[in-house]
Chain A
């Protein structure tokens, strides 16, 4: 498993890297986990309804919050610095071609990571993502091409949650939370990324071999 840490990067640059890595893995390259943070933005998925963006687009532009359309599943979500994003590029055909198993693997890995920080997470297959007493701490939305996954998950760590006031996250009136909000402490994103990488790698049943770290978060 290759671990790539892009640090803080704009959405479209990360998407270009993700698409390149997707092609590479489709063509037989090693599976990888791409970690990054994005500048403020809203991102829609295939199930997005534009009415789930509550703030006028002109006002969002004035606030410096662009809206991007993506080909992943799910509804609209928000990204900003302090949120840890993981884009696993994984060939499920050679592991287990089962999307339900893959979603559970992502969620369980995040849950195990939160557990080491003393946060007890809740999982519910009817409401994908990771929850803390009904508050959402991690959103998930993926895309799959030739059984290779891309896009993935976003964990709220130290980020300003007010950005979610511009949307109905995942199309629902839900309360978002973060690791900082739950623990009262600031968490280092690079350390958290390595912990999540360990848990994801173990859950995907592949030995973790950190072959590359491009930048620090």
Chain B
């Protein structure tokens, strides 16, 4: 199982909003696929899937506030 974590975006940036998910729960995805987009006031940032497998659960829906370091989904690894 691999968790999807909101990465460090830069000094002093602690929060963002989930703009959209590119995959739905239950869908298969490959490592490196664009998985979700988060946004700050002036930037959008695509987060890639950290693993290949199945997107088992999304913890935070579109429009939710999230913090750097927070787990927002989990992936059941392929194989």
Contact = CB atoms under 8 A, between A and B. Distances in A.
Interface stretch (A140-148, A161-169, A198-206): A140-148
Contact of B46 (A98, A101, A140, A146): A146
A99 B45 contact: yes
Interface residues of B, number: 18
Contact of B42 (A73, A97, A98, A101): A73
Given A46-B19, A145-B34, A146-B48, A140 B42 contact: yes
Interface string B1-35: 00000001111110000010000000000000010
Nearest to A144: B45
A154 to B, nearest CB: 13
Contact of A100 (B10, B39, B46): B10
Contacts of A101: 10-11
Contact of A98 (B10, B19, B34): B10
B44 interface: yes
Nearest to A126: B41
B41 A74 contact: yes
Nearest to A142: B43
A9 B37 CA distance: 28
Contact of B10 (A45, A47, A72, A97): A97
A39 interface: no
Given A46-B19, A71-B37, A146-B48, A141 B42 contact: yes
A91 to B, nearest CB: 14
B60 interface: no
Is the interface on chain A under 10, 10 to 19, 20 to 34, or 35 or more residues?
Answer: 20 to 34
Given A99-B13, A102-B10, A142 B46 contact: no
Contacts of B40: 73, 99
Interface in A39-55: 45-47
Contacts of A71: 37, 44
B10 A143 contact: no
Contacts of B48: 146
Given A73-B44, A103-B43, A142-B43, 15 more contacts: A46-B19, A46-B37, A47-B41, A73-B41, A99-B43, A100-B9, A100-B10, A101-B10, A101-B11, A102-B10, A143-B43, A143-B44, A144-B43, A144-B46, A145-B46
Pairs of residues from A and B, 5 with the lowest C-beta to C-beta distance, nearest first: A98-B10, A73-B43, A100-B10, A99-B10, A145-B46
